[in-house]
Amino acid sequence: TGVQTCALPICGISPKTLNIIMAGTGVGKSLFMCHHAAACLMQNKNVLYITLEMAEERIAERIDANIMDITMDELQDLPLEMYEKRLLSATRGVSGKLIVKEYPTSYANANHFRVLLDELRLKKQFTPDIIFVDYINICSSARFKHGNNINSYGYIKAIAEELRGLARSE
């Protein structure tokens, strides 16, 4: 799920909207989102990528591979010095910044993300132009406890509404 918070369209996404990428298990939703995040960075946009599934390092590696236009295998085989040179060369002139934040599965909700946004603004002078949340089914709701007399449709709907509210408020 990508939540965009900018007043102008970014990478083809309308401002202040919740955009959901849906596909079967293992099809490449996270790969697509990493590719999209890399494209936004290369357009000088500040990107916040929130992950509840994969480690921060794996997400950053995928985005770096996209930026350098190499495979993950090629990225793994690059010596550190070569990696740094290639990344620096690929991002020369790019002013967009990337922050990847990992939360435990089923722990974080839109309120946690609001606090993170406030901390990033205050401590790092970082305001994202676009926010990616990977992924909605393993977020928690700020309004409901999972299994608390609410079916899965209602629970995921509540999370989507909360994330849409986050997009509209930023």
- Give residue 22's identity as a one-letter amino acid code: M
pTM for this entry: 0.90
Measured from the Cβ of residue 74, the count of other Cβ atoms closer than 10 Å reads: 12
Structure confidence by residue, pLDDT tens digits, 91-122: 999 999 999 999 999 899 999 999 999 999 99
Per-residue pLDDT of 2-42, as tens digits, reads 554 444 556 678 888 888 888 888 899 999 999 999 999 99
pLDDT band at 152 (very low <50, low <70, confident <90, very high): confident
Residue 113: both structure tokens together = 């993300």
Return the pLDDT at 19.
Answer: 87
Read off the pLDDT of each residue in 140-157 and give the average, rounded to a whole number.
85
Mean pLDDT of the chain: 90
pLDDT value of residue 5: 46
Place 147 in a pLDDT band, splitting at 50, 70 and 90.
Answer: low
Q: How far is CA 78 from the centre of its chain?
A: 25
For residue 81, give the 3-state DSSP assignment.
helix
